[in-house]
Amino acid sequence: MKIRSSAIISELVDRWLTKVATLIAVYVTFRGHNAPGGGFAGGLLLGAAFVLQFLAGDEPSIRRRPIRNPEMLLGVGLLAAFGTTLAPLIAGGSPLESYIWKLDVPVIGEVKFVSSTLFDLGVFAVVVAVVLMILRALGTDGAGVSAHRGRAASRDQGGAPR
Amino acid sequence: MMLFVAIFAQFAVGGLTLVGLRRRPALAAALGVVVLACSAVLVAARGIGGAETSSYSVRWLPILGFNLNVQLDGFAVVMALLVSVLGAAVLVYSLAYFEHDGTYARFVGLFMAFAGSMFGLVLAEDLFTMFVFWELTSVWSFLLIGLNDKSTSARQAAVRALLTTGAGGLCLLAGVGILQVQYGTTSFSELLTAGPSGNFAHAAAILLLLGAFTKSAQFPFHFWLPGAMAAPTPVSAYLHSATMVKAGIVLLARTSPIFADVGVWRWWVVVAGVVTMVLGGWRALREVDAKLVLAYSTVSQLGLLTVLFGVGNRYATYAGVAHIVAHAIFKVGLFLGVGVIDHEIGTRDVSKIGAARRAMPTTTLAMVLSLLSMAGIIPLLGFATKEKALVALLDLERDAVGVVALAGVVVGSVLSVAYSIRLLRAVLRSDVAPERSQVAAHSSVDADHHSSVAVRIALSGPVVVAAAVSLAAGLTAATVGSWLVAPSKSLDVNAVSKLALWPGINDALITSAIVIAVGAVIGWRAPLSQSATSAATGERVFDGLYDTTMRLAKRITAVTQSGSLPIYVGVTLLVAAGALVAGLVIDAPRLTGGVSWGSPLEALVSIVAMVLAIGVAVARPRFAGALFLGGVGYAIAVLFAMRGAPDLATTQLLVETLTIVVFLLALRSMTQKTGTHVGWTPRVLRLGIAVGVGIVVPLFLLAARASRIRPSPAQDYFARSLDEAGGRNVVNVILVDFRGFDTMGEIVVLAVAALGVVNLVRRAAR
């Protein structure tokens, strides 16, 4: 299955794409509060990068990397969102109430942090985890389509997404 | 506040045992005994002698008006003392009864959690608080009945008990809801002032009664209690005779003054109580297993208590309170005594337990005393309280209800004397040829176990103490009786009476003498080794209902969940479109106006989207269909961008990209082309649905747009976004703050869907 050009692409993708994409995705997530972006978009962006990596590379690459255990990520994301929802109750507020902290950081200047950013990070994590889980379930021949392996493999040569 | 601390401490010990002290259950049990003893002291110190009732409240959900309110009035003091003192006694007993393994740790944990719940239940000042603890006791009871989780019958009994008491709990909740809505309170004292009447009061009364009857095993819900005897003896002794099954009685005691005037109340209570008392007594007379005899006798005694609290007579309330105490004491003694015999000689068969007499003279003597108290023989406490019950019932008006109550209780009492005497004969029987080999084997195995004095004391101690208390309280009946006046008065201000060791010759005493004579003859002549009767009718009816429900559920599922994707989609679309059509037809709204036209480019993009959509429908290869679908999505993303919604456009673009990939991955394992014929319905109909939905939805959107009468909530969000949520991007602020709950739900759906995909694929792969 290995074609030379594909190997070059996959190497590039392996080396750079995920790192850059992660940076951009996190940036998109954080800027979401004031400009277009946010947890959904950021998560999908990183998910798309993983998809690209998956399509470019060999099938098991999605297992080795980038996140071994997307179920864990899913749980962490849900917990972060639940936690942000419920935390104000402890402080005597109403659920999901936003708290705004402003810090003066030298050089950078004033940094504003809103508690709902944590919520957005939870959304981000959940979206990334969902993409990875679906990719792993449907995209790995071993787990996903072994029942139809013969037929699927033969078709992979032709119209399959490579 | 200290009361909540006591409740909490009991729960805490329970939780600690289940989590931290699994390997040191004995230590946990000792801790539990200490906590229960402290609770008892606290209750006694706070509750006895104080002029005014102390009450406390914890805010729980103030928005909904739900608070936990507890009070320490006279009745609560009596019940709380029973719960904590008997709990400590049973826990001491359990130390010697169980092997100290993981099961025992679980027992101690659940037991303490139960004690905390029951403690809260008896202290509850309003129905809502009572309901909360009520449900908790049901859950702990379920877990404790099924403590031996390897036994199928124990698990079944646990499920029966849970479903029965759980259904009753739901009835209780409904009743509480009605009262809360109708009278704005569920507090006992405030409800008494409100004096409910009318249809709602009737409904609430019936629902509360259903709750009480299921919990306290009243006919026709009595069947779960004997089944619950699958639990270890300490559980049976504590939950299923002394405390939990009294929860229904406590509810009756608290609510009887409120609903006494509601017509159905007295009839229901008296008939259910009388039937239960007689039925339980009859079954107790026929059972062979000593534990089941005691279980049915509990059913029977609960019937008596129900009658006493239900008739709403000032003597009867007092007699009820007194008999709760008497019953708890002698029944705990008896259960634990049977447990000792079972532990020592390995049988509970009434024709064999006489063999234990020689080995354990003290325990046997104690059991005899408790049995005499149960039979109501002078000079034990049971005599004084039973006597008082008869006095109260003889004092009733001779209307139909009064006569039924009196006659039923007399018959029931004859039976309870009879089964007590039968059990007495079984315990005292000396002509039993004990199965030597069995006994010997049993004792040699546990030789060192038995030689331990501490074990013996821990096992027989509570039995002896219970019997001694029955006797001492009987001898000092007048004093004990005077302690019980305040508790009765806290239930019913008119309640008066006293206990006496020797009441003098009166109607009640003569009745009682006749009852004892007849009962003793029956009991003495009743055979000990009756062939075991088949499963109780109630149990069979329950199982029938259970199986029928399960079958029905399966059939409904088979009909509604056919597994055909086209049918699901078709039904969903039809229902949604139907609702929209109904809205359009009924309201006949304007369809024009409110739509702003954009640039001509928008029209172009829209046409592209439409063409692509048609492509989805007509393309035969699935692969092409998926691509067309993605194209539609991209076109829509472009429209979003043109209308100035970058957030939506970005997200849409990314989602479409990922969706196409996922589609293609999934398509690898499907046939390449869509099927030529879909079996479920003709092509015309499918086309009709598609076109119809395609017409109705846009029409509705136009109508919705045209009928706006208020400014969009977005205006409000724009104004508040930066100040309140600290963000300039309103779309994002809506997602994570203003409508954060929606997002919460969405990501949960997303997570569940992903897990579903993973598991479906895994399943298909097998």
**Residue of A36, A96, A152 lying closest to B740 (CB–CB):** A96
Provide the number of CB pairs (under 8 Å) joining chain A to chain B: 162
B64 has a chain A CB within 8 A of its CB:
no
- Please determine, for residue B30, whether its predicted confidence score (pLDDT) is greater than 70: yes
Average pLDDT over residues A10-28: 79
Collapsed DSSP state (helix, strand, coil) of residue B588: coil
pLDDT at residue B436, rounded to an integer: 47
Q: Per-residue confidence at B341, pLDDT binned at 50, 70, 90?
A: confident
pLDDT at residue A93, rounded to an integer: 66
Average pLDDT over residues A137-143: 65
pLDDT at residue A1, rounded to an integer: 45
- Please determine, for residue B220, whether its predicted confidence score (pLDDT) is greater than 50: yes
- Please determine, for residue B632, whether its predicted confidence score (pLDDT) is greater than 90: yes
Helices (H), B349-497: 356-359, 361-375, 381-394, 400-428, 436-445, 447-451, 453-475, 477-483, 485-491
CA distance B276 to B273: 5
Is the peptide bond between B646 and the residue preceding it cis, with omega within 30 degrees of 0? no
Output B621 or A144, whichever has higher pLDDT.
B621
Q: Per-residue confidence at B139, pLDDT binned at 50, 70, 90?
A: very high
- Which of B651, B736, B741, B757 to mutate to probe the A interface, most A CBs <10 Å? B736
CA distance B258 to B253: 10
Q: Which residues of A touch B626 (CB under 8 A)?
A: none
Q: Considering only alpha carbons, which residue of chain B is nearest residue A150?
A: B669
pLDDT at residue A56, rounded to an integer: 72
Average pLDDT over residues B454-461: 82
Please give the backbone phi and psi of residue B80, each rounded to the nearest 5 degrees, phi first: -65, -35
Average pLDDT over residues B74-78: 87
Task: Give the closest-approach CA distance of A11 to chain B in angstroms.
Answer: 21
- Please determine, for residue B72, whether its predicted confidence score (pLDDT) is greater than 80: yes
> Which range, of B48-62, B98-112, B152-166, B284-298, averages the lowest pLDDT?
B48-62
**Residue of A38, A47, A143 lying closest to B735 (CB–CB):** A38
B406-439 per-position pLDDT tens digit: 888 899 999 999 989 888 888 887 766 555 444 4
- Please determine, for residue A26, whether its predicted confidence score (pLDDT) is greater than 90: no
Q: Per-residue confidence at B138, pLDDT binned at 50, 70, 90?
A: very high
Q: Which residues of A touch B725 (CB under 8 A)?
A: 98, 114, 116
pLDDT at residue B728, rounded to an integer: 77
B729 has a chain A CB within 8 A of its CB:
yes
B664 has a chain A CB within 8 A of its CB:
yes
- Please determine, for residue B100, whether its predicted confidence score (pLDDT) is greater than 60: yes
Average pLDDT over residues A1-8: 55
B749 has a chain A CB within 8 A of its CB:
no
B63 has a chain A CB within 8 A of its CB:
no
B740 has a chain A CB within 8 A of its CB:
yes
pLDDT at residue B443, rounded to an integer: 45
Q: Using CB atoms within 10 Å of the CB of residue B158, give its burial: 0 to 12 exposed, 13 to 18 middle, 19+ buried.
A: buried
Q: What is the mean pLDDT of chain B?
A: 84
CA distance B681 to B120: 60
> Which range, of B272-286, B478-492, B710-724, averages the lowest pLDDT?
B710-724
- Please determine, for residue B98, whether its predicted confidence score (pLDDT) is greater than 90: no
Query: Between the ranges B404-413, B473-482, B559-568, where is the mean pLDDT highest?
Result: B404-413
* Number of separate helices (H) and strands (E) present in chain B: 33, 2
> Which range, of B208-217, B249-258, B502-511, averages the lowest pLDDT?
B502-511
Output A112 or B540, whichever has higher pLDDT.
B540
- Please determine, for residue B245, whether its predicted confidence score (pLDDT) is greater than 80: yes
Answer whether B758 sits within 8 Å of A137, measured CB to CB.
yes
Task: Give the closest-approach CA distance of B629 to chain A in angstroms.
Answer: 16
Contact B693, B613 (CB under 8 A): no
pLDDT at residue B130, rounded to an integer: 92
Answer whether A126 sits within 8 Å of B751, measured CB to CB.
yes
Output B529 or B705, whichever has higher pLDDT.
B705
Contact B222, B172 (CB under 8 A): no
Answer whether A126 sits within 8 Å of B761, measured CB to CB.
no
**Residue of A32, A138, A147 lying closest to B665 (CB–CB):** A138
B763 has a chain A CB within 8 A of its CB:
no
Task: Give the closest-approach CA distance of A123 to chain B in angstroms.
Answer: 7
Output B671 or B161, whichever has higher pLDDT.
B161
Task: Give the closest-approach CA distance of A62 to chain B in angstroms.
Answer: 14
ipTM: 0.78
Among B560, B583, B540, residue whose Cα is nearest residue B701: B583
Compute chain B's Rg from CA coordinates: 34
A54-97 per-position pLDDT tens digit: 777 655 455 555 567 888 889 999 998 888 888 777 766 666 66
Average pLDDT over residues B728-751: 85
pLDDT at residue A147, rounded to an integer: 38
> Which range, of A37-46, A67-76, A104-113, averages the lowest pLDDT?
A104-113
Q: How large a percentage of chain B has pLDDT more than 90?
A: 19
* CB atoms closer than 10 angstroms to residue B624: 16
- Please determine, for residue B707, whether its predicted confidence score (pLDDT) is greater than 70: yes
**Residue of B623, B729, B744 lying closest to A35 (CB–CB):** B729
Residues with Cβ within 8 Å of residue B559, at least 6 apart in sequence = none
Q: Which residues of A touch B751 (CB under 8 A)?
A: 74, 77-78, 126, 129-130
For residue B145, the surrounding DSSP H or E stretch is helix B127-145
- DSSP codes joined into one string, B293-307: HHHHHHHHHHHHHHH
Answer whether B672 sits within 8 Å of A155, measured CB to CB.
yes
Q: Which residue has the tokens 């997303």?
A: B750
Contact A101, B721 (CB under 8 A): no
Cα→Cα distances A80→A46, A86, A102, A114, B744, Å: 19, 10, 21, 14, 11
B103-134 per-position pLDDT tens digit: 888 888 889 899 999 998 998 888 988 999 99
Answer whether A100 sits within 8 Å of B726, measured CB to CB.
yes
Q: Per-residue confidence at B531, pLDDT binned at 50, 70, 90?
A: low
Q: Using CB atoms within 10 Å of the CB of residue A87, give its burial: 0 to 12 exposed, 13 to 18 middle, 19+ buried.
A: middle
pTM, rounded to two decimals: 0.73
B731 has a chain A CB within 8 A of its CB:
yes
Q: Considering only alpha carbons, which residue of chain B is nearest residue A147?
A: B765
B611 has a chain A CB within 8 A of its CB:
no
Among B732, B678, B104, residue whose Cα is nearest residue A37: B732
pLDDT at residue A160, rounded to an integer: 37
**Residue of B661, B664, B668 lying closest to A145 (CB–CB):** B668
CA distance A100 to B603: 43
HSE (side-chain half, CA atoms, 13 Å) at B21: 23
